Each structure stands twice: as C-alpha cells, then as structure tokens.
Amino acid sequence: MANITDKVTVIGLGPMGQAFTRLFIEKGIHTTVWNRTASRADQLVAAGAILAPTPADAVAASNLIVLSLTDYQAMYDILTPAISVLSGKVIVNLSSDTPESSRKAAEWAASHGAAFISGGVMVPPPMVGNPGAFTFFSGPKDVFDLYQPTLEILGVTDYRGSDPGLAQFYYQALLDIMFTSVAGVLHATAFLRSAGVSGATFEPYMKNFLTFLPEMLTDMMIMDETDSGKYYGELNNMIMMAAGMDHITHASKEAGIDTTLPAAVKAIYDETVARGYGRDGLGSIYEVLKNPSK
Ligand code: NDP
C-alpha cells in the first residue's frame, strides 16, 4: 500500500493553494511552493514551506506537483519554461477548466515524460481537509493510487476513471447545478422583494423547498427517465409546465426584475413542446438539453 509522500510541490497560492500547502506542512511533508506573485508565499514560508525561486526549481524539488491555478492556461504559462525537468514527475492539476483541457494537458504532460491526474475540489478553501471535503480525480489509476494517501489529506478522494476529462466532467456538472440553482434562488428573492418581502422572510420557504427538491426528483424518477427516454407526463405535462414558465416570465416583467433567466428556461420548455413532448413529463426537457436545435 502507498504511503503519504515525503515531498510535495504546490504551484499556485491563491486561497486554495495556500490551504493545500498548510495541510501538507501540518502533516510534516517537505513542501516546496512557487507563485507568480511571490509575496503570497510569505506566511507559508513562515509556517515552514520552501519558496522555490523559479517554476523549474519548484518542479525539480518533488515528484508530486500539485497545481492550483485559475485555469489550465496558467499551467502552460508556468510549466512551459520548466519542461526540461518534467520527465518522471506526476502533475496533479486541481485547477478548474473544461474536460477537453484536461485531456489535452494529459497529452502535453506525456509528451514531456510526466504523468497527469486531473482533479476538481468540491469545497471552498476553509473546508479543505475538514469533514465534508471531497475532490474528484481522474487519470491513470496506478499513478493515482500511489499518491492517494497524500491527496486524501485534502479531503475524501473520489476517483472517477482513467479518462483525464472525467474529474472535470463531475466537477463542472455539480457546479452547473450550483450556479444555476443559486441564480434561481436569487431571482426568486428579487421577485418577492418587488412585493416588499425581505430575503430573511423568504429564507425558510426557500430552504424548505430546496430540501424537498431531491425527494421530488427521486419520486419523479427523473434520472431513470433520462436513461430510458420515457417521460411520465400524466400528472404534470410539458404544455402545462411551459404555460407555467410563461407566467413566471411575465410576472418577472411585471415586477420590473430581470427576465433573462426565466425566459431562457421558457425557451427550453417551448422547444420541448415544439418537438412533440407536450404530453410528456418535465424530464423531457432533457431531450432538448442534450440535443439543442441547430
Ligand atoms: P485564485 O484565482 O485566487 O488563485 C489562482 C492562482 O493562479 C494564483 O496563484 C495566481 O497567481 C495563479 N495564476 C493565474 N493565472 C496565472 C498565470 N497566467 N500565470 C501564473 N499564475 C497564474 O484561485 P483560488 O485559489 O481560489 O482557486 C484555485 C483553483 O481552485 C481555481 O481553478 C478554482 O476554480 C478552484 N476552486 C476554487 C474554489 C474556491 O472557493 N476558491 C473552490 C473550488 C475550486 P497570482 O497570485 O500571481 O495572481
């Protein structure tokens, strides 16, 4: 069984990379850091990290290189001048980007003799390393297994498969739910505010509904429907739902608030009806979402 590695390099010291570095130092790992803005390393150096003068020195210092950057372009910007020392290294990129970026990065790393694991951290920096923290990973299983005990310091590791794009697929899928749901919650809040209702008054209703939502989706067997392509519409069909979205869009206009969000959902519902799913259930919008009109 693999053990926690004795050395790690962290490149990228935003709030996330700083949290990683602190956790690695706390575990007694010799932790080398590099960041474009060197001053972001000051407190970490005081806590025991070693600041490398260049990305090449940072890479040379450890076999495991953990990246925490704004996007994958930043990885190329930083590591391209260090390609001569990449051979034999394991790059674990925990930065956000598209699945295709992860796949291309894995090929790029391989072309320089390095192994590549992609990851998506599913919690904010203060939660990293604490109960509830988890990270999706994908890439070569033998390489992941070798460093899993070290990566587990950051939280539960959820390995999704050898395709390096998979971690970003899962990560972006959950963020997709988060960002669209939060937009929905705040749109509803603005709608009620136009009637003088405060956010605090709305909060228990919002919470209650969001708690009930997973149960409702399970009862509707909406995931099974997406797999079978059959959408049960006897109790609530798409013609009724599209009319409902129309009401929300018009009510938002009357309220003087932004209508972009309900209008976008309404367009999807209308297209679903136009494609002949009017008597099918809400799950049938999946047919439009997975296969948009040209
Ligand atoms: P920040 O944007 O605060 O930090 C990003 C890091 O990337 C900094 O070290 C920055 O350097 C560096 N960077 C960006 N562009 C370049 C470049 N072209 N060349 C060199 N360095 C560059 O991000 P976070 O620490 O918040 O997040 C890091 C990653 O983790 C992101 O991909 C984010 O999506 C993901 N994540 C973040 C969460 C959060 O709540 N913060 C939650 C889950 C995931 P410099 O300091 O010089 O600007």
Task: State the chain's mean pLDDT as an integer.
Answer: 97
Distance (Å, rounded) from C-alpha 228 to C-alpha 222? 10
Indicate if ligand 1 lies below 6 Å from the C-beta of 121: yes
Residues 33-72: pLDDT tens digits?
999 999 999 999 999 999 999 999 999 999 999 999 999 9
Whether 210 has a pLDDT exceeding 80, the answer reads: yes
0.75 exceeded by pTM: yes
Ligand 1 centroid from CA 36, angstroms: 11
DSSP-derived letter for residue 265 is H
Indicate if ligand 1 lies below 6 Å from the C-beta of 237: no
Phi-psi label, residue 29: left if phi above 0, alpha if psi -120 to 50, beta otherwise: beta
Q: Specify the ligand 1 atom closest to the Cα of 11.
A: 9
Distance (Å, rounded) from C-alpha 58 to C-alpha 56? 5
Indicate if ligand 1 lies below 6 Å from the C-beta of 39: no
Indicate if ligand 1 lies below 6 Å from the C-beta of 31: no
Altogether, the residues listed in the chain come to a count of 294
* Atom 39, ligand 1: residue with shortest CA distance: 124
Ligand 1 centroid from CA 41, angstroms: 14
| Helix, strand, or coil (residue 199) | helix
| DSSP string across 49-100 | -EE-SSHHHHHHH-SEEEE--SSHHHHHHHHGGGGGG-TT-EEEE-----HH
Residues 272-284: pLDDT tens digits?
999 999 999 999 9
Give φ, ψ of 7 to 5 degrees: -135, 145
Residues 6+ apart with CB under 8 A from 65: 8, 9, 11, 58, 59, 89, 90, 91, 92
* Atom 42, ligand 1: residue with shortest CA distance: 124
Residues 61-101: pLDDT tens digits?
999 999 999 999 999 999 999 999 999 999 999 999 999 99
Distance (Å, rounded) from C-alpha 128 to C-alpha 50? 21
Nearest of 224, 188, 221 to residue 206 by alpha carbon: 188
Query: Which of 69, 72, 176 most suits a substitution to test ligand 1, by most atoms within 8 Å of the C-beta?
Result: 69
Distance (Å, rounded) from C-alpha 132 to C-alpha 136? 13
Ligand 1 centroid from CA 112, angstroms: 24
Indicate if ligand 1 lies below 6 Å from the C-beta of 12: yes
